[in-house]
Amino acid sequence: MLSMSQHNVLEGILDATFGKPSMNNLNATNHALRHKLGTDVDGKIILEIRYERGVNFAPSKGLATQKKELDKDSFNAIGEKIAAAKKEFRELAESTLKVKAISDGQSDIIPISFNESLVRARYRATVVYEIDV
């Protein structure tokens, strides 16, 4: 169970308000990472990290193939965020953050506009973790 000070440290690390870590180097990454920290019915601390990005799909290439590439990029970005958060937590809170994936990750595409040669959409991938020290 996280203490209140450890909880505050973790929130500070994951803070994704405007101008904070989710938007760093947006031109290079083209994505944003959001988080939600809460508890489940058993009192365990749950962390949900969501990757969001606007995308353009070429229908001629096939949506499934292009989605696989996005899945790879998104889950890598989420994994890197978790690794960086664990490292920074260890430095700031002076204890080790235990992170256990509850879900393998889900992704979906929400179409915004259709055209014969281009589909604009919002891509979203989410992974849920159980957090402890």
pLDDT in tens, 91-123: 998 889 899 999 888 999 988 888 888 888 999
Residue 3 — very low, low, confident or very high, per pLDDT cuts 50/70/90? confident
Q: Tally Cβ neighbours within 10 Å of residue 86.
A: 15
Q: What letter represents residue 67's amino acid?
A: K
Residue 117 backbone dihedrals phi, psi, to 5 degrees: -105, -10
Q: Report how far residue 128's alpha carbon sits from residue 35's, in angstroms, rounded to the nearest whole number.
A: 10
User: What tokens does 122 get?
Assistant: 């919002």
Looking at residue 116, what is its pLDDT?
A: 80
Looking at residue 115, what is its pLDDT?
A: 82
11-60 pLDDT tens trace = 888 875 554 544 555 555 678 888 888 888 888 889 999 999 888 888 77
Residue 129 — very low, low, confident or very high, per pLDDT cuts 50/70/90? very high
Map out the domains of the chain as residue ranges: 4-132
User: What tokens does 63 get?
Assistant: 């949506």
Q: Report how far residue 87's alpha carbon sits from residue 10's, in angstroms, rounded to the nearest whole number.
A: 11
